[in-house]
Amino acid sequence: MERLRRTLRAAFDSVTSTTWGRVAITGFGVVGATHLVCQFVDPDGVLSSATQILLMPTLAGALAAACPDRTRLVRLGLLALGASWLGDTVPRFVSGDPGFLSMVGCFLVAQVTYIAGFLPYRSESSPVRTWAARIPYLAAFLGLVAWCLPGAGPLAPPVIMYGAALTAMALLAPGVSPVTGVGGAIFMASDGLIALHAFAGVTLPVHDFWVMLTYLVGQALIVAGVIDRTAASTGRTGLAVPTASGMRPAGPAGDS
């Protein structure tokens, strides 16, 4: 827990070290809070739509401001946030199954991009290294597929493909940073709520609020971990990176 707190604090300090970073993170906080309130008041209203479209650009701005050194991880992180923005935006102009497929397609690109960014750190991810840590992720994926498949109909193949990519992203995320690992798991939970609602009829009270809250927290934690890892690999912070053999300040060759 202390490691998570220190990582979040270091990431916040990196973002707020520049005027642009302070503007971006403030924008993300204000837009995110407004959007979550809209889920209670008017989830289908204009303000809800407008704020959702602004979420990922403001978060991407915070990442860009905190990481002037555009490492491979940062570039792919920004691309993943861009694909997520398309997933938030495109379905608003396309209805029915095409709209749902466009959302799945955009977020599939986001997950594949995250996977590409996280892959160089796979040896440091405990779910990749050990079966015991891997089991909860695989159980969640298989459970969701079993629950949702009967109601998915012709959408079953893309849903399974997306679920597999989402699970792979979550499995790899802890290798970047513990915070990124938590973010990947929460992101997986958010998309699980969407699938359960769409294909199994499972609806929580204020369902969209919980979907968006976990989505925002998951993406923000992924970004915080990317900032932490990038800062360590470029020598901009004293925080060390945990590995299986101890602590080290630099990332792998894939960082540059």
Is residue 202 predicted with pLDDT exceeding 80? yes
| Strand 246-248 versus strand 241-243 pairing type | antiparallel
Is residue 97 predicted with pLDDT exceeding 90? no
**Residue 230 and residue 87: Cα distance in Å, rounded?**
26
Q: Where are the domains of the chain?
A: 1-233
Which residues have C-beta within 8 Å of that of residue 111, sequence separation ≥ 6? 80, 162, 165, 166, 168, 169
Which band of pLDDT confidence, cut at 50, 70 and 90, is reported for residue 254? very low
**What are 39-82's pLDDT values in tens digits?**
998 888 999 999 999 999 999 999 999 998 889 999 999 999 99
Bridge partners, residue 243, by sequence? 246
**Residue 157 and residue 221: Cα distance in Å, rounded?**
29
**HSE of 156 in the Cβ direction (CA atoms, 13 Å)?**
10
Averaged over 18-27, what is the pLDDT? 93
**What are 163-176's pLDDT values in tens digits?**
999 999 999 999 99
